[in-house]
Amino acid sequence: MQHVDDETAVTGSWRERKKRATRAALVEAAVRIAAERGVEHTTVDAISEAAGVSPRTFFNYFDSRDEVFVLVGAEASARVRNAVREAPRELSPLVALRDAMAVELQEIEQQQELWRLHAEVLRRSPELLARSIGAHMADELGLAEAVAERIGAGSPSFSGDRAESTEAEAQQRRRALGLYPRLVAAVGTSAVRIAVEHWCVHQDEAAFEDVFLEVFDHLAAGLPEPPPAAKSGRR
């Protein structure tokens, strides 16, 4: 499986920005073609041509056609993990995670149509959906490990290529983690999903950034019951 390790996902150089743009172009081309023709009629040649690159370039980013649908957020996930580890020490793990995710979600309002099309493509392909769920679980496990490292509870046994873990190794990694890192990672990823879903049906009422921050404000406050006025509103 093609993977993106945390160090190479750090952005900054022109070369890395160009690589990010190429990867994004391949993903967008694949999603749009699959949404129109179906996954079974979407070829690497067609994706590469639509993205303006060669099939050889495609395989610099993905090992197979299916991975372009499954590993959509691999680079972003790696950047989030790295940012969580390197965030100022005075920030709580939840705030560090919120800030890291906020950076990666800055363009979500411009990408809403692509997100919708990608979800539709996965719904039409049970096999890709299952693989996508597996990739999401792997991302969450890696994020939990980043939180564990941040609080000094990481396991040096798994400092290598986490993206390539077998199921047995993944089980070992879970056993090495405490409850808190796993909970922070799970809550953070669920918060993003809820924020996106809520904003998609309330776009005329609030910007995505406001919805996203409100979700994390609720979490930071301990999820107290909102006042009556807030209950009756849609936010």
Query: Given this model, what pLDDT does residue 201 score?
Result: 86
Q: Which two tokens stand for residue 68?
A: 């372009």
How many angstroms separate the CA atoms of 170 and 156, rounded?
A: 14
How many angstroms separate the CA atoms of 173 and 144, rounded?
A: 10
Q: What value, to the nearest 5°, has the Cα angle with vertex 154 and ends 153 and 157?
A: 140
- The ranges assigned to domains in the chain are 14-225
Whole-number average pLDDT of the chain: 86
Between the ranges 21-30, 166-175, 222-231, where is the mean pLDDT highest? Answer: 21-30
Distances in Å between the Cα of 43 and the Cα atoms of 30, 39, 189 are 8, 8, 31
What's the distance, CA 129 to chain centroid? 15
Residues 6+ apart with CB under 8 A from 191: 215, 216, 219
Q: Which fold has domain 14-225?
A: Tetracycline Repressor; domain 2 (1.10.357)
Query: Given this model, what pLDDT does residue 30 score?
Result: 97
Residue type, 73: G
pLDDT beyond 70 at 198: yes
Quick: pLDDT tens for 71-85: 877 788 999 999 999
Quick: pLDDT tens for 160-180: 445 556 788 888 888 889 999
pLDDT beyond 60 at 203: yes
Mean pLDDT of all residues in 1-12:
50
Quick: pLDDT tens for 103-150: 988 877 778 888 889 989 999 999 999 999 999 999 999 999 999 999
